C-alpha cells in the first residue's frame, strides 16, 4: 500500500482511532485537535488519555491545533467532529483544501434549524468540485475496538464512483474492510437516526424491560428509520446494510455506545441536565432527536419512537408515561 497524506479533523475517541488506523497502515496523518494544550499533550505523550486511553499513537501521526496546516495539501480530509460543528469548521477550510482533496465525513447527525444532512451542509459551504466528490463513512464501529486492531466492516457512500474507489483502495486495511455505495442519503439518515433509537433501547434496559423489549424496539426502530429514509429518497436496501441495521444493532446493544448510556440513565431515573453534565463526549442522539422530530413533521411520516424520545428528552415528559403511550398505540400491520 502506498503512503497517503491524510488529515483527521477531530481528536475525540473516533478521530483518534482513525488516525491510529491510518498511521499504522503506513500513511502520513495530521490529527487536528482544536485545543492547543490538548494537542501538545497528545503529540508529546502519544496517548489520548481523555478519550481513548491505553492506546499509543503511531509515529506516522502528528498532532496539532492549526486547522489550515492540518488540511493543506492533503489527499484525504476526514471529518470526525460533532455534526453541529461541521458547518463552522469546514467553512473555515473550504478554500484552504486542495481542489482535488477527497473529503470523508465520519460525523453522524442532522443540522438543527435547516434539518439538513451533512451532505447538504457540504454542498452549501464547500467548493462545488470538493462537495460533489465528498464521501461519507458510516457503520458499526466502536473506537476502542478499531484502536485495538479488531476486525470491522464499514460503508463509504459517495456520488462519484472514481472517488469512492480511490478512498476504498487507499484506506482499506486487513482489519478495516470498506464497502462502497452510491446511496449517500440513506447512509446519512441511517447513521443519524440510529442514535435516537439507541437512546430508546438504553432506556428500555434501564427500566428493566428485558431482551424481548430491546429487540422489539430495535426492529421497530429500523422500520421507522427505513420509512423516513425512503420518503426522503433513499434506497430501502441501504437500511438492511452496515450503515442501517448494522450500526443500529451495535449502538443499541454495545456498552461503549454513548447514546445507549444516555438512555440507560434516563431509564434509571436521572434527568437530562445531570446526564449531559456527566458526559465527556457528545451523544449525537440528544440533538438529533429534536431535529428528527421536526423533520418527520415536515415530511408527514409517522415516527412514534422519535416522537416519544423527543417528548422525554426535550419536553420533560416522565419516562414511564411516555413509554406507556408508545405501548398502548393501536395495533397495526407490521409492514405499515
Which cell numbers in the block locate residue 247? 450500526
**179-188-254 Cα angle (round to 5):** 75
Q: Which residues contact 153 (CB under 8 A, 6 or more apart)?
A: 139, 140, 177, 178, 179, 242, 246
Q: Which residues are CB-neighbours of 252 under 8 A, at least 6 positions away?
A: 194, 197, 198, 201, 202, 214, 217, 218, 221, 260
Whether residue 194 lies in the annotated active site: yes
> Residues with Cβ < 8 Å from 243, sequence gap 6 or more?
138, 139, 155, 157, 181, 186, 187, 190, 191
Written as nine digits, the cell of 1 is: 500500500
CB count within 10 Å of CB 125 equals: 18
Q: Identify the active-site residue in 49, 74, 108, 194.
A: 194
DSSP result, 225-263: HHHHHHHHT--GGGGGSIIIIIHHHHHHH-TT-HHHHHH
CA 15 to CA 174: how far, in whole Å?
Answer: 19
All three cell numbers of 105: 465525513
Distance CA 110, CA 193 (A): 9
* Catalytically annotated residues: 194
Amino acid at each position: 500500500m502506498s503512503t497517503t497524506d491524510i488529515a483527521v479533523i477531530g481528536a475525540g475517541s473516533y478521530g483518534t482511532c482513525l488516525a491510529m488506523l491510518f498511521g499504522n497502515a503506513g500513511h502520513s496523518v495530521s490529527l487536528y485537535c482544536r485545543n492547543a494544550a490538548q494537542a501538545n499533550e497528545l503529540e508529546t505523550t502519544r496517548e489520548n488519555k481523555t478519550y481513548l486511553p491505553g492506546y499509543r499513537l503511531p509515529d506516522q501521526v502528528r498532532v496539532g491545533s492549526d486547522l489550515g496546516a492540518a488540511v493543506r495539501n492533503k489527499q484525504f480530509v476526514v471529518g470526525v467532529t460533532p455534526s453541529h460543528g461541521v458547518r463552522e469548521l469546514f467553512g473555515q477550510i473550504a478554500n484552504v483544501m486542495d481542489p482535488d482533496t477527497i473529503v470523508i465525513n465520519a460525523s453522524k447527525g442532522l443540522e438543527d434549524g435547516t434539518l439538513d444532512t451533512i451532505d447538504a451542509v457540504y454542498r452549501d459551504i464547500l467548493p462545488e468540485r470538493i462537495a460533489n466528490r465528498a464521501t461519507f463513512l458510516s457503520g458499526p464501529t466502536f473506537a476502542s475496538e478499531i484502536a485495538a486492531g479488531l476486525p470491522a466492516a464499514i460503508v463509504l457512500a459517495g456520488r462519484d464512483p472514481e472517488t469512492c474507489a480511490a478512498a476504498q483502495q487507499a484506506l482499506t486495511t486487513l482489519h478495516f474492510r470498506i464497502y462502497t455505495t452510491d446511496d449517500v442519503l440513506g447512509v446519512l439518515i441511517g447513521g443519524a437516526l440510529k442514535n435516537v433509537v439507541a437512546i430508546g433501547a438504553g432506556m428500555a434496559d434501564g427500566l428493566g424491560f428485558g431482551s424481548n423489549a430491546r429487540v422489539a424496539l430495535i426492529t421497530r426502530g429500523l422500520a421507522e428509520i427505513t420509512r423516513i429514509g425512503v420518503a426522503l429518497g433513499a434506497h430501502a436496501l441501504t437500511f438492511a446494510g452496515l450503515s442501517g441495521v448494522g450500526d443500529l444493532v451495535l449502538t443499541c446493544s454495545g456498552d461503549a455506545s454513548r447514546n445507549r448510556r444516555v438512555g440507560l440513565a434516563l431509564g434509571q431515573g436521572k434527568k437530562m441536565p445531570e446526564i449531559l453534565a456527566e458526559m465527556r463526549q457528545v451523544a449525537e442522539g440528544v440533538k438529533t432527536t429534536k431535529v428528527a422530530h421536526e423533520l418527520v413533521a415536515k415530511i408527514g411520516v409517522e415516527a412514534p419512537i422519535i416522537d416519544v424520545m423527543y417528548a422525554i428528552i426535550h419536553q420533560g415528559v416522565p419516562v414511564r408515561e411516555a413509554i406507556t403511550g408508545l405501548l398502548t398505540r393501536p395495533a397495526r400491520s407490521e409492514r405499515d
